[in-house]
Structures are given as C-alpha cells and as structure tokens.
Amino acid sequence: MKTDRQIQQDVLSELAWDPSINAAHIGVQVDDSIVTLSGKINNLADKWRIEKAARRVHGVKGMAIDLKVEMVGESVRSDSDIAHTAKMVLDWNPALPKNSVEIMVEKGWITLTGQLEWNYQREIAQKVVSHLVGVTGVSNQLAIKASISNVEIKEKITNALLRHSVDEAKKVKVSVNQSEVVLSGMVSNWVSREMIKNAAWMAKGVSSVIDEMRYTE
C-alpha cells in the first residue's frame, strides 16, 4: 500500500508528465490517501485536466479541489458575450435537443438549467461550456427526467457491470428509487469505483448516483 508521500510524488510526476498541464503553480497535499489540489489557474479547462491527471494515479481514494480560476488579459469577457457563445455551442451540438438548456451567467460563472433524458447529455452540456474562454465555473443544474421504471434501470445497470467485467461488480449492490441510484458494497481501488459509478450514470433516466461503496482493507 502506498504512503501519502508516495502518492504525493506520483501525482506531482503525473502533472509534470502531461504536456497539456502547466503544473508550475499547482500544490499537492495528501492525507490518508485523499489528495488536495491547490493553486491558481488561467481557465476552467485546465482545472478539469488537472483533476483527471490526479485521478489516474493508483492509490488515490479521494480528492479535494482548491484550484482558483483567475482570468487575465484577453481571457476576460463580458457575461453577455459568454452567454451568447454558450447558447450557440449548445444549440450546435447534435447530442443535445435544441433549446433544451437554459443559461445564466454571472461574473463568468455559468449556471445550466433545463431537462434532459440522459446523464451523458448533461455531461456534454457542461463540458462544451467549460472550455469557453472567460468561464470561471459551471453549476450544472440540468435535471434528468425518468422515462423508464426503477426495475428497468437496475437491470440495465447490473447487466452493464457484468459486461464490463469489473471483478468488484459482483460485490456491489444496486438500489434504485425514483431514478436515484444507490451503490453499496466493497471495492478494492479508485479505478474500479469510478468504472462502477460511470456504468450507473450511463443508464437512461438516472438523475443521481449515491456512492456508498467502501474500500476493502
């Protein structure tokens, strides 16, 4: 089992290794396998890349994000300009029904509201606006409308876990209540835990996933 010091060094090495990340001003602290990322960055897209890189490191069991987005120079844009651009890219995305997402922008922070059928659509909406210049943050308040029964959702998730051949899938219990999925049981590592949660989110009609899984000793 890795020590906190080893995990810290591995995260720092992973950040330095990724050419899309400027890790010069990123701080990494680890306590009980929980990684805290801190520092100042120029845009929201960098934040997602830094989080993703840290998740790749074996032994990481959780993360706390204290990264601050600070715009300078040409990165600073008016809220109306950001809203207009965000509306345009959302309407042009073929995965999203036109006019299904409403946008509000305040000091560069985008709030998304509306209703969709799939979580992947909600993720796409957040991703495309997150990469826009001038965006300091995104609150994703898009709702998922349940169009199939709880039994169907549970069956589809369980079958997906078996197809993905995740060993821990057999030890995980899937419960569904009004489109809310609760995952419980034991997993051995972060990667398996993320795969199981991602499989649950891919089911149509899932509005939220509650992770109650625990790590094996």
Last residue of a domain, one of 18, 36, 69: 69
Cβ atoms 69, 42 nearer than 8 A: yes
Rounded CA gap, 88 and 77, in Å? 16
Query: Do 140 and 159 share a domain, yes or no?
Result: no
Rounded CA gap, 115 and 120, in Å? 13
Query: Do 41 and 9 share a domain, yes or no?
Result: yes
Q: Which residues pair with 140 in a beta bridge?
A: 112
Query: Do 19 and 64 share a domain, yes or no?
Result: yes
| Backbone phi, psi, residue 3, to 5° | -80, 165
The domain in which residue 54 lies consists of 4-69
Query: Do 198 and 166 share a domain, yes or no?
Result: yes
Element (H or E) spanning 113, and its range?
A: strand 109-116
Tally of domains within the chain: 3
Strand order, beta sheet including 208-215 = 172-177, 180-187, 208-215
Span 27-76, pLDDT tens digits: 999 999 999 999 888 777 788 889 889 988 988 988 998 888 776 666 67
Last residue of a domain, one of 127, 144, 161: 144
Query: Do 136 and 121 share a domain, yes or no?
Result: yes
Q: CATH code at 137?
A: 3.30.1340.30
Span 159-214, pLDDT tens digits: 888 787 666 777 888 988 878 899 998 888 887 888 888 888 888 888 889 999 98
